Every structure is written in structure tokens, then in C-alpha cells.
A = this chain, B = another copy of it.
């Protein structure tokens, strides 16, 4: 019976075009920042399409939008599929929109085929995944997982002066036909289709990635302090050069952290020198480390290794190193039971897949804290995202939607009826 439902490719591609027109930029991208007028317009279009098909529309207090197709048993918690509709200020057409619209296509194709499910199936569009208008990102899924809106968000302001609480209120008001429901109601599980935002699937020519977890991320600020001195008059023996310490430490870390663990990510994105004179041995250097790994214990071990390596390198040239962690996002590991559903779905669809980690955050990271969650990735051209030139081949969008449909049916059969 589940095999009768079929993705309507033409309809999905038209929906992607229709939503890309809301907040379209001249360069072919999208500016549809969270809780903006354009975000409200996109929410309205989705709600209208939903109501036209006889689905129900709900909002929760953080304005997460839910489109519900009832199951045979109203007492079962719904299974969620979806993503987000907000974009970066110069964002692409697919980041978030593909996952949300493919989820809606799953609902429509099941409606087309008259498939009945035990549990209700709901499409969700989480509020403010991008975090570009109001920070942090993943507000909707974070509040959902916390079953509360963190108090400090009430005072948030955007850089253009917009007040978060006002814009949230206006967004809720703009969809008066939606029914209100509480934050963080019980759900059976969650699946999210998303573009990879990286190059691996495209380069390996694999149409579907099964995402088994999201890397934890830590940001470190490391300062090595020595003593400024004259580049010409100071012999090596008299130097306390923090640059040599930083270079020695980073060489060792670049040579070990990623080469010894293919799941680790170690990036130095900022590097500043004081006083920054051509002819002065620096007084201090400061650099950032973006450290990612799917395993918390390994993150702890790597952070300790980074601190020790910097301290040792600094001490060897009579400098001192200080490390400060200024961001910490724990990793998510998706449950094997749900991943097995994705494997079976891919097999039935004849889709080649690879199991992969997500290096970027997604709403699934937060939902996974309260319900089984997993993600499906499709390739995007050159790994490019957060960019107006972001592009996904139509065949990849369609394959992703087919994979999401098949996976949803597998998950409903496996989890939804428990």
C-alpha cells in the first residue's frame, strides 16, 4: 500500500519556484529573513495551500507552523517532517525551502493516493533557523525542545532596530486562521530533508546522504603572549616571539586533529597580531579555533589537546597561552532505528546513499533532544550555500522528495504506530 504514493515532480518544482518568488533578489537568490514581512508571506502561502487540501494549520507560541494530515488514531503523537522557510539576507532558493516544500509534497502525494496512516503526519516550518535577523538561529526548534521561550529572547533587537517580541507577535497575528497549540507537544519522530551545504555528495556523485548525526561545535579564542621587540636588533636567543609559538602549535594541530580522525574538523578562521608592525616581533597573537566532532568526549579530548599543544609551544619560547571557549553546541547522534528506516527506504527506491555527518547545525539537532530525528541530504552545486548562487539540480530535488516520502512511510510503519 505505501508504494502507491508518488511524488509529483512537476508540482514540487513549481512550488519551489513559487516560494523562491517571495523575497526574490535580483541575483536569483532569496531574502526572506525570519519574522519579516516576506517570511509571513511565505507562511501564508503554505497555510493557504494546506487549507485548500483540507489539512489543518497550527501555530505554537514561537510561531512554528504545522500542517496536519490526520491519521486513523488521533491519540497517537504526530510524526513530523519539514525544515524552515526563512533565509539568509542574501540566501539561496533551496536552503530550508526544499525540505519544507518536499515535506508538503509528501503530504499531498499521500493525500493524492488516499493513503491512510495510523499516526497523524505533520509538516513543520520551524521559526528562524538562520538566525540572521534575530540571533540565535534554530529558535523555533530550540524553544520546541525546551518547551519554553528563553526569557532573554524577549529583549532581542535586530540590527535594523526591529524588536523580536513585536515581530513574533505580528507573525502570529498574520496567520489568524491557524489554531494555537502549546510549545513542545509530544511527537513520534522527525525527518528533515536539506541540501548538504558542502561538496561531498556532488563530488562523490551520490544523490542521497543519510545523516547519522550533527557535529558538536566549540569555538575557542587562543591568545599567546610574548614580548614585542625590534625585528633587526633582537637575536633569536633574546626573542619571546608568540608568532613562532602559534605557528608551531598550529602546525602540530593541523598535522594531527583532522588527519587522525576523519570526523574531526579543525579550522583557524581568524588571526590577529599585536602591534602588527612589519619590523616588530609581536607582543601577542590571537587566533580562533572552530572545532567540530560528533562525539562529546572526543571534543573534550581535542580541546584539551589544543590547550596543551598551545601551552607547550608557548612555554618553549618563554611565552604564555590562554584559551577561552566562547561557543559550545553539543553534538547530536540520530537513533539507529530511524536511520534503518532511511536505509530501507533508499533500498526500495533504488537510491545510492552514503551515511554522513552534518557539519552545520540544523533544526533536527534540537528536535532530536525530545524525539527520534534524522536527516536526508541532497547535493548542491559546488557545495555552495548561504549564497544567492545556491543551486540544486531538479533531479536531486525530486530524488530527495522521493526519499523523504519513502522514509516517512517506513518511519510511520516502524515508529509511528508504537
Where the two chains meet, the residues of A that have a C-beta atom closer than 8 Å to any C-beta of B are 196-200, 203, 215, 217, 219, 229-236, 238, 241, 243-244, 247-248, 250-251, 254, 258-259, 262, 265, 267-273, 276-282, 285, 288, 290, 292, 327, 358-361, 383, 385
Contacts and interface: CB of A to CB of B under 8 A. Distances in A.
Contacts of A259: 236
A258 B231 contact: no
B273 A271 contact: yes
Nearest to A290: B231
A215 B233 CA distance: 9
The 9 residue pairs across chains A and B that have the minimum distance between CB atoms: A232-B359, A198-B233, A233-B359, A231-B267, A251-B251, A231-B290, A236-B258, A247-B250, A278-B288
Given A215-B232, A232-B215, A359-B233, A279 B290 contact: yes
18 contacts: A200-B235, A217-B279, A219-B278, A219-B279, A231-B267, A232-B358, A234-B359, A234-B383, A241-B267, A247-B250, A247-B251, A248-B251, A267-B281, A269-B276, A269-B279, A269-B280, A270-B276, A278-B290
A269 B280 CA distance: 6
A271 B243 contact: yes
A340 B315 CA distance: 42
Contacts of A203: 238
A269 B273 contact: yes
A101 to B, nearest CB: 22
A125 B290 CA distance: 55
B234 A199 contact: yes
A46 to B, nearest CB: 27
A324 B316 CA distance: 32
Contacts of A229: 198-199, 383
Interface centre among A217, A280, A359, A361 (most CB of B within 10 A): A359
Contacts of A273: 268-271
Contacts of A280: 267, 269
Given A234-B199, A247-B247, A360-B230, A269 B277 contact: yes
Given A278-B288, A288-B278, A290-B278, A269 B235 contact: no
A324 to B, nearest CB: 13
Nearest to A268: B243
